[in-house]
Structure 1
Amino acid sequence: MNDADRLTHLIVEFYEKLSSWEHCVVRGKGLTLPQMHTIEILGAHGPMRMKELAEKMGVTTGTLTMQVDRLESRGLARRMPHERDRRSWLVELSEKGRSYFEEHDKLHQRLTLELTEALSNEERAAVLSALEKMNKRF
């Protein structure tokens, strides 16, 4: 197997393991992965227009509307009219939603520490640089 094939297989394996971990963590909260993904984006970026949030998530505004409806019904998010654009709605986390985000973010931080504890400072820097460049390609 050449290096390109090995890299492909390792990326897929890492994605599958991370996805499995994420499913387990989210299932314990009674949320779907897309719901938690919405919470993560809003927690990291603050209130957003529905259209911007849909673009960040890679979904249609119709799909996002259903996600936000469910989050609102659980008291995790709320919609409000945009101050300067009457056609737009902003979505933001409620206090409860913010606490879900903070708790989930801490789990991510702990996982990152566990996954990288055997790496040297140079290896961590290389992983950081590689991930930044790879994420820009998306």
Structure 2
Amino acid sequence: MSDTDRLTHLIVEFYDKLSSWEHSVVRDKGLTLAQVHTLEILGIHRAMRMKELAEKMGVTTGTLTVMVDRLEKNELVRRRPHESDRRSILVELTDAGHEHFLEHDKLHKQLTEDITSALSEEERSSLAMVLEKMNREF
């Protein structure tokens, strides 16, 4: 097996395991994975224009509108006019949405601790650098 084949299989295996973990955590909250990712992005970046949020998520503004409608109905996000651009609408977390974000973020941090506990500080640092480089390729 070539190095590329091995690496491909390892990346796919890691993605499958992480995806399975995400689905199991989200399932208990009554939200879809896409909805939780929306809350995560808004929790990290704060209020965003719909267009910016759609780009970060890799979805159309139409798809995002439906998702934001549902999150707004559940009182997890709110829309408000942009202060300086009357054509833009900002989406932001409500207090309840922020609580969901903090809870999910805490689970991510615990998962990171769990799966990297056998790594040395040097290995953790190297892993972070490699992941940063890989993420820039997307």
TM-score for both structures, normalised by structure 1: 0.99
Amino acid at match of 2:25: V
**Partner of residue 38, structure 1:** 38
> Unaligned regions of 5+ residues in structure 2, if any?
none
Matched pairs, number: 138
Deviation of the 1:136 alpha carbon: 0.7
- The CA RMSD measured in Å over matched residues stands at 0.4
Alignment of 1:73-92 (within 5 A): 73-92=73-92
> Unaligned regions of 5+ residues in structure 1, if any?
none
Distance 1:61 1:132 in 2: 27
Amino acid at match of 1:42: L
Regions of 4+ moved over 3 Å:
none
1:69 and 2:73 aligned: no
1:119 and 2:119 aligned: yes
Amino acid at match of 2:34: P
**Partner of residue 57, structure 1:** 57
Identity %: 70
Deviation of the 1:121 alpha carbon: 1.1
**Partner of residue 136, structure 2:** 136
Amino acid at match of 1:2: S
- Secondary structure in structure 2 of the residue aligned to 1:25: helix
- Secondary structure in structure 1 of the residue aligned to 2:31: coil
**Partner of residue 6, structure 1:** 6
TM-score for both structures, normalised by structure 2: 0.99
Deviation of the 1:75 alpha carbon: 0.6
Q: Deviations over 1:19-57 (max 9, x none)?
A: 000000001000001000100000010000000000000
